[in-house]
């Protein structure tokens, strides 16, 4: 549990692996997927930014790199299982942006503002959102189509 500067919150998380890779500190997050990820996944990952922030707050330094290690099993292609690694870096500015996003989410929640997830994202689905059937941000036609 850490407390970011310029934020009234405490953050906790579990990093999959902090590796010493040839003298470099690399935070690795291990994922499994049915298809290869896009090349920008590590660069744009908020989760990796959060891990870099946690590492900095615990150790005093940012990691040299952050990485997503995917184990890919494409069942329809009947291809062998393979690994894809995507590496990126995080800067002090990235950490500041992460803290600003956290503070914004806290302020919105305290004000009773709950922003809807984007349609088509994994979080906006009946599997992951318990409010999906009654959500005013999901069209009734989509709801009806999913009940069939």
**Who's near 49: CB < 8 A, 6+ residues apart?**
66, 90, 94, 95, 97, 98
The answer, yes or no, to whether residue 66 has pLDDT greater than 70, is: yes
* Tens digit of each residue's pLDDT (9 = 90 or more) over 107-143: 888 898 877 877 777 888 888 888 878 888 877 776 6
Report the alpha-carbon distance of residue 117 to residue 33 in Å, rounded.
22
Question: Which phi and psi angles does 58 have, rounded to 5°?
Answer: -85, -35
Q: Which pLDDT score is estimated for 136? A: 84
* Tens digit of each residue's pLDDT (9 = 90 or more) over 75-86: 777 777 889 999
Q: What is the dihedral of CA 137, 140, 145, 146, to 10 degrees?
A: 50
3: pLDDT confidence band, cut at 50, 70 and 90? confident
Q: Which pLDDT score is estimated for 140? A: 74
Question: Which tokens in the block code for residue 85?
Answer: 């690694």
Report the alpha-carbon distance of residue 111 to residue 21 in Å, rounded.
44
**Who's near 84: CB < 8 A, 6+ residues apart?**
36, 37, 69, 70, 72
The answer, yes or no, to whether residue 92 has pLDDT greater than 90, is: yes
pTM of the model: 0.76
Q: Which pLDDT score is estimated for 148? A: 43
> Pick the residue with more confidence: 98 or 4?
98
């Amino acid at each position: 549990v850490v407390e970011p500067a310029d934020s009234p919150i405490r953050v906790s998380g579990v990093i999959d692996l902090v590796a010493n890779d040839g003298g470099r500190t690399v935070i690795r997050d291990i994922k499994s997927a049915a298809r290869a990820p896009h090349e920008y996944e590590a660069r744009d990952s908020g989760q990796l930014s959060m891990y870099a922030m946690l590492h900095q707050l615990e150790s005093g330094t940012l990691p040299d790199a952050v990485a997503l290690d995917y184990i890919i099993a494409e069942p329809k292609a009947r291809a062998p299982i393979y690994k894809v690694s995507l590496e990126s870096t995080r800067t002090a500015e990235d950490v500041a942006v992460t803290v600003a996003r956290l503070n914004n989410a806290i302020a919105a929640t305290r004000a009773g503002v709950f922003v809807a997830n984007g349609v088509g994202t994994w979080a906006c689905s009946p599997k992951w959102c318990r409010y999906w059937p009654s959500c005013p941000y999901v069209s009734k036609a989509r709801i009806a189509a999913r009940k069939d």
